[in-house]
């Protein structure tokens, strides 16, 4: 009889404990979900609900192999954009509860709406599946994608006839490109290769493997010291210009109320990174120090004239002609020169 009573009491205590654990995790989950769209800024405190803290001896947040008990959005642990984390709640009895969550971190300052005016139009070969787009002097250097059709080419702005070109093997899908001195560097999509060409002849000189941290190759730019590469995520990677298979650092990109992923074609100009977002008619102006979007161009009107298929013929080309910007897209028949107001 005594054993039966002890068993019943144990079951009751166990059920109460389980219900209490469930309530703790539900309260934490409700709080985290409410904060996902609102987001945090660096320096903000993570305000854990009282129903959780009253039952906790300690609370920490882990990020894979890193962990902190400082419940503040600290750039030492968090990046801009979405952060996959795990909350670890050590109860006063010693038991540890865990819960996965997403913490979005946004830039403190709203991004400026950047205005422009179209001042000139140039022809662009509508067969070009533009992935990389550069201008030096009056010469356009372009990387075109698609399996079996990928190539690097150069032509005079205002014409569409190639001065020189190098075609890729059938299994190569070319992506972004950038100029460094007398060479052109070109990313590939899933081939894990970076090609190096002579700028004048476009003769292939060398190749490097992509850094392992990059899943794919999308956009490429050069800031005078390092390469800047995108891989279709929220991240931009700074690569060693002598050996681009080595990553120097990376930043994540976000605005005041929105995280941006699928960052694609890139350009570096006067201290800022310019990036278009795949399948969106926008170009972001990004602070390279921290990934903060400080301004945004909306090219909807131009894109409408050229985009019939929102999957393929989308905005994807940024270059600078002095202080003016050149933009084009995949399979577009025009290059637009715009003055920035």
pLDDT category of residue 1 using cuts at 50, 70 and 90: low
Residue 259: the pLDDT is 86
Average pLDDT over residues 4-13: 45
Average pLDDT over residues 193-222: 95
Distance CA 122, CA 130 (A): 15
Q: State the chain's mean pLDDT as an integer.
A: 91
pTM for this predicted structure: 0.87
Task: Kindly state the tokens that stand for 127.
Answer: 């067969």
User: What does the pLDDT look like over 253-287, one tens digit per residue?
Assistant: 999 988 899 999 999 999 999 999 999 999 999 99
Percent of the chain with pLDDT over 70: 94
The answer to whether residue 206 scores a pLDDT higher than 50 is yes
Q: Alpha carbon 190 to chain centroid distance?
A: 17
Distance CA 187, CA 173 (A): 9
Give which of 294, 227, 289, 301 is closest to 260, Cα–Cα. 294
The answer to whether residue 92 scores a pLDDT higher than 90 is no
Mapping DSSP to helix (H, G, I), strand (E, B) and coil, where does residue 248 land? strand
Lowest mean pLDDT among 75-79, 225-229, 272-276: 75-79
Q: Are 193 and 207 in contact (CB under 8 A)?
A: yes
User: What does the pLDDT look like over 145-197, one tens digit per residue?
Assistant: 999 999 999 999 999 999 999 999 999 999 999 999 999 999 999 999 999 99
Distance CA 195, CA 53 (A): 54
* pLDDT greater at residue 93 or residue 17: 93
pLDDT category of residue 9 using cuts at 50, 70 and 90: very low
Which residue stretches of 199-296 are H helix? none
Within 13 Å of residue 323, how many CA atoms lie on the same side as its CB? 5
The answer to whether residue 12 scores a pLDDT higher than 50 is no
């Amino acid at each position: 009889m005594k054993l039966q009573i002890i068993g019943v009491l144990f079951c009751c205590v166990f059920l109460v404990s389980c219900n209490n654990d469930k309530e703790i995790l539900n309260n934490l989950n409700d709080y985290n979900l409410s904060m996902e769209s609102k987001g945090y800024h660096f320096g903000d405190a993570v305000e854990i609900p009282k129903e959780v803290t009253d039952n906790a001896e300690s609370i920490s947040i882990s990020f894979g192999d890193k962990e902190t008990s400082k419940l503040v959005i600290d750039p030492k642990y968090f990046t801009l954009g979405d952060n996959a984390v795990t909350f670890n709640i050590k109860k006063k009895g010693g038991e540890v509860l865990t819960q996965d969550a997403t913490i979005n971190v946004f830039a403190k300052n709203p991004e400026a709406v950047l205005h422009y005016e179209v001042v000139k139009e140039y022809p662009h070969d509508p067969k070009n599946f533009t992935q990389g787009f550069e201008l030096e002097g009056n010469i356009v250097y372009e990387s075109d994608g698609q399996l079996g059709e990928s190539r690097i080419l150069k032509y005079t702005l205002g014409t569409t006839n190639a001065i020189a070109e190098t075609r890729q093997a059938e299994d190569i899908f070319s992506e972004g490109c950038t100029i460094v001195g007398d060479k052109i560097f070109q990313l590939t999509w899933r081939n894990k290769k970076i090609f190096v060409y002579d700028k004048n002849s476009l003769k292939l000189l060398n190749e490097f493997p992509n850094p392992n941290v990059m899943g794919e190759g999308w956009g490429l730019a050069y800031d005078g010291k390092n390469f800047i590469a995108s891989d279709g995520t929220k991240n931009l990677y700074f690569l060693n210009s002598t050996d681009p298979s080595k990553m120097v650092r990376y930043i994540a990109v976000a605005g005041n109320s929105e995280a941006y992923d699928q960052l694609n074609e890139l350009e570096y100009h006067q201290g800022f990174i310019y990036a278009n977002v795949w399948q969106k008619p926008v170009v972001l102006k990004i602070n390279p120090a921290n990934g903060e979007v400080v301004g945004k161009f909306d090219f909807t009107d131009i894109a409408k004239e050229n985009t019939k298929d929102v999957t393929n013929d989308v905005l994807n080309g940024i270059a600078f002609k002095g202080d003016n910007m050149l933009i084009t897209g995949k399979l577009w028949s025009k290059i637009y020169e715009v003055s920035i107001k």
